[in-house]
């Protein structure tokens, strides 16, 4: 039986040798030679994660000749988490490095009921570990809801790996937010009451702990609603709508990109859901349609609190009109723009839609980005023109002196409210951020009073102010 098996092996390898000779192999075995082993090249190389490399396999004979069998071998690795092999035609023998570690690259050659194999050592190196990060990056929770947290180990090369199942999770105040591990080894963080806490992840294998565990728990959401009860626009326009979640402590959070939009009928307009242009209204034809919003995370409909909105498409945009306004030097105030339609009607406020320009930035500047598009800040006394341009049609407001900046010598108005920025205050351990304070007047304008307010922290051990 052994002689028959050797004969079959020789016949099989001679077939491979003939194929290799046909494609240009430089050596072939003699008719009396027999297979002594499989050689895999190269050996002991180092790759980085996501790097690819083409290995080669050779059948070695007793007469010291060899035949390349790369495309005839079956390729495997000893640890698929470190590296994976391709057996596809044209890429057989190509390794794809995945994560740090050591692995054997194996080539197996089958003939009838027997096989030979060879191997080479490979090391995947991502460099030293630089830190441990947890996600979500901004940890803002809501009373009564739970969210899954993950932990990833970061390497110098930029590679990172999920280690959620092996880290030790804890909360600095479980009465605010607590951590439980489910059967799938996921970390579920449940918000219990309003406040702040630190969600910690410690990896005993590497000794690293996350530094971005600051977690804020906000009040429970009672209902959701649209910002406007009606959105009016022309056929040649686009307009964004906004949806807010209202909390039982009187605050609200914009959730435009988190909800699904339900239109009472098709063909009038479409509303975009998701992260790309969320809430964007694109008109299709004239008419009106009712829109409801559904929040899948909380199971809330806007209509449950009489919060449906109406989209009305009427005529086409003809002109842009900017409301005249005045502001004192150093104060800020929002500008407002409206579109005049061919029907004579005025559109919904276009402040967040148009592109703003100040014709004299030494007198006043106006924002186009960030959370306050259309926010004017007065710099010196005088009058200038604020222009609003519709990005779809290119129609702009007329060049009139519609903004007056007054000197600060007028009788001061009483400040009725104080607000600080950034609006969402989420910091990481060791991070510093500049906060500002603005006093809001009854007129709606505001002024920077950061240098005169008295700053403090309720718990300087968590965050201090200098």
- For residue range 7-60, list pLDDT tens digits in order: 344 444 444 444 444 344 445 666 677 888 899 999 999 999 999 999 999 999
Average pLDDT over residues 341-345: 95
Do 275 and 306 fall into the same domain?
A: yes
Is the same domain home to 172 and 257? Answer: no
Same domain as 466, residue 387: no
Q: What is the mean pLDDT of residues 110-128?
A: 83
Domain that holds residue 306: 221-313
**How many structural domains are present in the chain?**
5
| Percent of the chain residues past pLDDT 90, beyond the cut | 64
The more confidently predicted of residues 455 and 403 is 403
Per-residue pLDDT of 432-446, as tens digits, reads: 777 788 888 776 677
Q: Which residue has the higher pLDDT, 196 or 25?
A: 196
Largest CA distance in the chain: 112
Q: What is the pLDDT of residues 347-361, one digit of tens each?
A: 999 999 999 999 999
Based on the domain organization, do 327 and 266 belong to the same domain?
no
Where a domain ends, among 188, 218, 248?
A: 218
| Mean pLDDT confidence for 92-99 | 93
Q: Which residue has the higher pLDDT, 460 or 304?
A: 304
Domain CATH number, residue 351: 2.60.40.1080
Cis peptide before 70 (omega within 30 of 0): no
Residue 10 sits in the same domain as residue 112: yes
Say how many C-beta atoms besides its own lie within 10 A of residue 134's C-beta: 24
Domain boundary among 183, 218, 253: 218
Q: Residue 314 in contact with residue 194, Cβ under 8 Å?
A: no
Same domain for 75 and 158, yes or no, is no
Q: Which of 25-39, 251-265, 376-390, 452-466 has the lowest mean pLDDT?
A: 25-39
Quick one: pLDDT at residue 192?
95
pLDDT of residue 372: 83
Q: Tell whether 211 and 190 lie within a shared domain.
A: yes
Q: Is the torsion defined by CA of 282, 284, 285, 288 positive or negative? A: negative
Q: At which of 406, 423, 449 does a domain end?
A: 406
The two structure tokens encoding residue 387: 């222009």
The answer to whether residues 189 and 298 belong to one domain is: no
Q: How far apart are CA 162 and CA 160, in angstroms?
A: 7
Q: Examine the domain organization and report whether 139 and 249 are in the same domain.
A: no
Residue 118 shares a structural domain with residue 9 = yes
pLDDT for 13 equals 47
pLDDT in tens, 137-189: 889 899 989 999 999 999 998 899 999 999 999 999 999 999 998 877 889 99
The answer on 376 and 341 residing in a single domain is yes
Task: Supply the pLDDT for residue 116.
Answer: 84
**Res. 93: pLDDT tops 80:** yes
Arithmetic mean of pLDDT over the chain: 87
Pair (9, 86) in one structural domain: yes
As a whole number of angstroms, the distance between CA 336 and CA 338 comes to 7
What pLDDT is stored for residue 340 in this prediction? 96
């Amino acid at each position: 039986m052994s002689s028959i098996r050797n004969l079959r092996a020789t016949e099989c390898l001679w077939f491979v040798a003939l194929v290799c000779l046909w494609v240009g192999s430089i050596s072939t075995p003699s008719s009396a030679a027999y297979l002594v082993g499989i050689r895999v090249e190269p050996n002991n190389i180092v790759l980085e994660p996501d790097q690819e490399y083409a290995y080669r396999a050779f059948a070695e004979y007793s007469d010291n000749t060899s035949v390349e069998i790369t495309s005839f071998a079956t390729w495997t690795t000893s640890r698929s988490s470190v590296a994976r092999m391709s057996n596809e035609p044209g890429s057989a023998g190509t390794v794809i490095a995945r994560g740090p570690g050591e692995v054997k690259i194996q080539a197996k050659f089958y003939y009838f009921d027997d096989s030979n194999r060879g191997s080479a050592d490979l090391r995947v190196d991502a460099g030293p570990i630089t830190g441990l990060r947890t996600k979500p990056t901004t940890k803002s929770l809501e009373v009564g809801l739970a969210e899954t947290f993950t932990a990833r180990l970061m390497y110098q090369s930029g590679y990172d790996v999920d280690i959620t199942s092996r880290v030790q999770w804890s909360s600095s105040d479980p009465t605010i937010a607590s951590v439980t591990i489910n059967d799938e080894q996921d970390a579920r963080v449940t918000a219990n009451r309003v406040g702040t806490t630190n969600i910690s992840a410690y990896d005993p294998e590497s000794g690293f702990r996350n530094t971005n565990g600051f977690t804020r728990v906000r009040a429970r959401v009672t209902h959701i609603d649209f910002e406007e009860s009606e959105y009016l626009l022309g056929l040649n326009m686009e307009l964004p709508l906004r949806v807010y979640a209202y909390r039982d402590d009187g605050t609200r959070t914009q959730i435009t990109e988190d909800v699904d939009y339900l239109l009472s009928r098709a063909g009038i307009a479409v509303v975009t859901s998701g992260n790309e242009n969320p809430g964007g209204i694109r008109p299709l034809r004239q008419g009106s349609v009712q829109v409801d919003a559904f929040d899948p995370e909380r199971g809330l409909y806007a209509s449950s609190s009489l919060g449906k909105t109406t989209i009305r498409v009427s005529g086409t945009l003809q002109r842009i009109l900017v409301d005249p306004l005045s502001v004192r030097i150093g104060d800020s105030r929002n500008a407002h723009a409206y579109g005049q339609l061919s029907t004579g009607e005025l559109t919904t406020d276009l402040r967040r839609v148009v592109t703003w320009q100040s014709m004299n930035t030494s007198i006043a500047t106006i924002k186009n980005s960030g959370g306050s598009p259309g926010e004017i800040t007065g710099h010196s006394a005088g009058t200038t023109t604020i222009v609003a341009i519709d990005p779809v049609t290119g129609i702009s407001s007329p060049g009139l002196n519609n903004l007056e900046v007054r000197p600060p010598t007028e009788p001061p108005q009483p400040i009725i409210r104080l607000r600080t920025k950034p609006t969402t205050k989420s910091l990481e351990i060791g991070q510093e951020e500049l906060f500002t304070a603005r006093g809001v007047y009854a007129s709606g304008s505001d002024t920077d009073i950061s240098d005169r307010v008295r700053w403090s922290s309720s718990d300087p051990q968590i965050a201090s102010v200098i």
